[in-house]
């Protein structure tokens, strides 16, 4: 029996379908509304992918709008990094870039409108008094003594607030809704506060600034956003969002829909904690390859396509969940396997001398650039008497299932010959410094010897005289605990001490000289590596993006 292809949509797209077929809307407009007060992280990527993809699928548009209503926290510096990150992810807002601060004048007018309607008042109480008056989860609130001010008086004082007649916190403007409302957001929320602070865009034009709740929905309405998608923590704000839309002469009625934010195990996602990691130097910066920031992920070498696929895979729902980082890594491997060129690199080298290979001679061998895409052709690799191999690929006293090199054993060198280990050279400390091997000329480039001998493994290598030196940075997950911020104690106690291992003595195949910073390639048998932004022809630096799946290390652990 044939199964019809899955056309399942998430609940948001279902709502949009209904709104379109019912004629409520004839187009779909979404928005991504970051506050320019920090760097974007993978959690934002979920929202970006959702909003821009929907606009794309429905032939609508997605606005980029900076939610910049709090000059104390925000900075122009972040605007640029946010734009860069969204672009890198592969999305384009065209000319639809907006700032909530562009609407300050309109918002002010609407605040005045509310006052005139008797639906807003100036409160002289300080922050503590307001908090106490709001009641709590069990207790209803009590009305402010200033709640009954006349429209005229409210208008006058609000005007004075705007003119700068008062200091920070002396007065606020509040919506007059319902102090008994079970939803605390509806108990006369503050909608304007006094902040004598320069704004990154409006400078000193204002000393009163609208609150998020008084800004967001109205901005949506001004931009004719049809579906305003946000995370679950704004669920309790929806009644207020709708109250403003209903009570103000706004040009459209957007609908707020909430979905659950992205959580990933083995990391933290809150801006505060990420900031702490940076400020306390647990990482080297916002773009440290271990950070879950977009810039960190980019520097790590994750392809944008993999991030997009990941976001598609995890879906959109309303329930709180924790996604396995392995799923992200799978998306990364999937893309990189298809797209990355293969090279050989030896991270921790041992010198091998092939004693029966003519001294001073070099030959050029060929190896496929990407077996997943043979049309890419082959690359040339020099081979000679002295090569490096990986220290892990030799064991003097190998366990039963170890297929690599050991005394008397034979292995294949990738794209080259079979070699057999004849002698182990050690220094005074007993450390292995060199291996003497012999090669079989009849086994060149994948040929099997006529006598029917078999080898069980192929190892990678680099010609010693041709090798490029490089620093290799081995990254692992930043935290050793699945839920570092829930485990108890400070999340910092769960930092993985081995999240970065630097190997200063890597040896690279010559072709790797042409890799540009930011490009991710495969080091055969090891993993995917990305040339770091600090890498230069003089000092090559490669970051490990993610290792290959490694069934050998798994098997090893079991015994």
Q: Which of residues 114-143 bind RNA (CB under 7 A)?
A: 125-127, 130-131, 134, 136-138
Tell me the closest approach of the beta carbon of residue 251 to RNA, in angstroms: 21
DSSP E strand stretches across 67-186 = 97-99, 120-123, 172-175
**83, 147, 261, 273: the active-site residue:** 261
Q: Which of 5, 59, 431, 554 binds RNA (CB under 7 A)?
A: 554
76-89 vs 42-57: helix crossing angle, rounded to 10:
60
Binding mask 9-48 for RNA (x = CB under 7 A): xxx--x------------------x-x-------------
Q: Which of residues 289-328 bind RNA (CB under 7 A)?
A: 313-324, 326-327
Does 334 bind RNA (CB under 7 A)? Our answer is: yes
- Residue numbers 409-428 binding RNA by CB under 7 A: 412, 414-415
Q: Give the H/E segment covering residue 304.
A: helix 304-314
How do beta strands 378-384 and 527-531 pair? unpaired
DSSP states of 376-442: G-EEEEEEESEEEEEGGGB-SS--TT--SB-TT-EEEETTS-EEEEEEEEE-TTS-EEEEEEEEEGG
Is 140 or 465 the residue whose CB approaches RNA more closely? 140
Task: Return the H-helix or E-strand segment holding 247.
Answer: helix 238-247
**Binding-residue pattern over the window 230 to 249 for RNA, x denoting contact by CB under 7 A:** --xxxxxx------------
351 among known catalytic residues: no
35 given a catalytic annotation: yes
Supply the minimum distance, in Å, between the C-beta of residue 333 and RNA: 6
- Stretch 344-403 residues interacting with RNA (CB under 7 A): 370-372, 401-403
Q: Identify residues 488-517 at the interface with RNA (CB under 7 A).
A: none
Strand order in the sheet with 410-413: 458-459, 410-413, 418-426, 432-440, 349-354, 386-390, 461-463
Rounded to an integer, what distance in angstroms lies between the CA atom of residue 473 and that of residue 470? 10
Given 271, 339, 351, 487, the catalytic residue: 271
Cβ density class 267-286: b for 16+ within 10 Å, e for less: bbbeeebbeebbeeeebeeb
Site map (CB under 7 A) of RNA, residues 258-287, x = contact? --x---------------------------
Query: Does 453 interact with RNA (rule: CB under 7 A)?
Result: no
Stretch that binds RNA, among 66-74, 76-84, 432-440, 505-513 (CB under 7 A): 66-74
Adjacent-strand bridge partners of 439: 419
C-alpha 262/C-alpha 320 separation (Å) is 8
Q: Which is nearer to RNA, 315 or 536 (CB)?
A: 315
Shortest distance (Å) from residue 330 CB to RNA:
4
Of 111, 115, 161, 211, the residue at the interface with RNA (CB under 7 A) is 211
- Annotated catalytic residues are 35, 261, 271
């Amino acid at each position: 029996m044939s199964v019809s292809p899955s056309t399942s949509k998430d609940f948001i797209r279902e709502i949009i379908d209904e709104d379109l077929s019912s004629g409520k809307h004839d187009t779909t407009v979404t928005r991504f509304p970051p506050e320019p007060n920090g760097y974007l992280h993978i959690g934002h990527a979920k929202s970006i992918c959702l909003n821009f993809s929907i606009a794309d699928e429905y032939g609508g548009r997605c606005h980029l709008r900076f939610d910049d209503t709090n000059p104390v926290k925000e900075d122009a510096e972040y605007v640029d990094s946010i734009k860069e990150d969204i672009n890198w992810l592969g999305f384009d807002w065209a000319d639809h870039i907006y700032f909530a601060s562009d609407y300050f004048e309109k918002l002010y007018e609407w605040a005045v409108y509310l006052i005139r309607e008797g639906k807003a008042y100036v409160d002289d109480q300080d922050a503590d008094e307001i908090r106490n008056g709001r009641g709590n989860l069990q207790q209803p609130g009590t009305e402010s003594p200033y709640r009954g001010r006349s429209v005229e008086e409210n208008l006058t004082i609000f005007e004075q607030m705007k003119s700068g007649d008062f200091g920070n916190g002396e007065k606020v403007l509040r919506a007059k809704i319902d102090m008994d409302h079970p939803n605390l957001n509806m108990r006369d929320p503050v909608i304007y506060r006094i902040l004598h602070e320069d704004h990154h865009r409006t400078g000193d034009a204002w000393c009163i600034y609208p609150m998020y709740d008084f800004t967001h929905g109205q901005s949506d309405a001004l931009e004719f956003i049809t579906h305003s998608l946000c995370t679950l923590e704004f669920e309790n704000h929806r009644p207020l969002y709708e109250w403003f839309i209903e009570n103000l002469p706004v040009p459209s009625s957007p609908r707020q829909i909430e979905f659950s934010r992205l959580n990933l195990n083995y990391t933290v996602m809150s801006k505060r904690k990420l900031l702490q990691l940076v400020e306390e130097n647990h990482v080297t910066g916002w773009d440290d390859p271990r950070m879950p920031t977009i810039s960190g992920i980019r520097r790590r070498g994750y392809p944008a396509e993999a991030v997009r696929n990941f976001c598609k895979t995890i879906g959109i729902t309303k329930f709180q969940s924790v996604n396995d980082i392995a799923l992200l890594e799978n998306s990364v491997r999937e893309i990189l396997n298809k797209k990355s060129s293969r090279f050989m690199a030896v991270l921790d080298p041992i010198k091998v001398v092939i004693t029966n290979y003519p001294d001073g001679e070099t030959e050029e061998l060929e190896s496929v650039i990407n077996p997943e895409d043979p049309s890419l052709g082959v690359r040339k690799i020099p081979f000679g008497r002295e090569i490096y191999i990986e220290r892990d690929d030799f064991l003097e006293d190998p366990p039963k299932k170890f297929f690599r090199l050991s005394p008397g054993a034979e292995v294949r060198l990738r794209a080259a010959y079979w070699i057999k280990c004849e002698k182990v050279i050690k220094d005074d400390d007993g450390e292995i410094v060199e291996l003497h091997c012999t090669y079989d000329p009849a086994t060149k480039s994948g040929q099997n010897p006529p006598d029917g001998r078999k080898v069980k493994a192929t190892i990678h290598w680099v010609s010693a005289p041709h090798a490029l030196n490089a620093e290799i940075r081995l990254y692992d997950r930043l935290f050793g605990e699945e839920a570092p911020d829930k485990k108890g104690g400070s999340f910092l106690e769960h930092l993985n001490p081995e999240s970065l291992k630097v190997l200063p003595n890597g040896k690279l195949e010559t072709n790797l000289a042409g890799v540009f910073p930011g490009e991710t390639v495969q080091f055969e048998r090891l993993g995917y590596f990305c040339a770091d932004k600090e890498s230069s022809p003089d000092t090559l630096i490669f970051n490990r993006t993610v290792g290959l799946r490694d069934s050998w290390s798994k098997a090893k652990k079991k015994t």
